[in-house]
Amino acid sequence: MGIIENALTKSEAKSVKKLSIIAFSGDFDKLTAVFTLATGAAAVGYEVNIFFTFWGLDAIKQKRGRAFVGGNWLTKLFGFLMGGVKVAPNSRFNFLGAGPRIFRHLMRKKNIATLEELMEAANALGVNLYACEMAMLVLGLEKKDFIHEVKDVLGVATFLRISEGGETLFI
Partner 1 sequence: MTHTLDITQEHCPMTFVRTKLKLAQIEKGDILEVLLSEGEPLENVPRSAEEQGFKVIAVEHVEGPVHRVIIEK
Interface residues toward partner 1, by CB under 8 A: 36-37, 39-40, 42-45, 110-113, 117-118, 121, 124-125
Residue 129 beta carbon to partner 1: minimum distance, rounded to whole angstroms? 16
Helix H or strand E segment including 47? strand 47-52
Integer CA distances (angstroms), 132 to 23, 54, 98, 105, 146, in order: 10, 8, 29, 32, 12
Residue 29 beta carbon to partner 1: minimum distance, rounded to whole angstroms? 16
Residue 133 beta carbon to partner 1: minimum distance, rounded to whole angstroms? 29
Nearer to partner 1, 50 or 118 (CB): 118
Handedness of CA 142, 48, 59, 136 (dihedral sign): positive
Whether residue 23 contacts residue 51, with contact meaning beta carbons closer than 8 Å, is answered with yes
Whether residue 131 contacts residue 153, with contact meaning beta carbons closer than 8 Å, is answered with yes
Nearer to partner 1, 34 or 162 (CB): 34
Burial class of 124 by CB neighbour count within 10 A (0 to 12, 13 to 18, 19+): exposed
Residue 40 beta carbon to partner 1: minimum distance, rounded to whole angstroms? 3
Nearer to partner 1, 127 or 150 (CB): 127
Nearer to partner 1, 29 or 145 (CB): 29
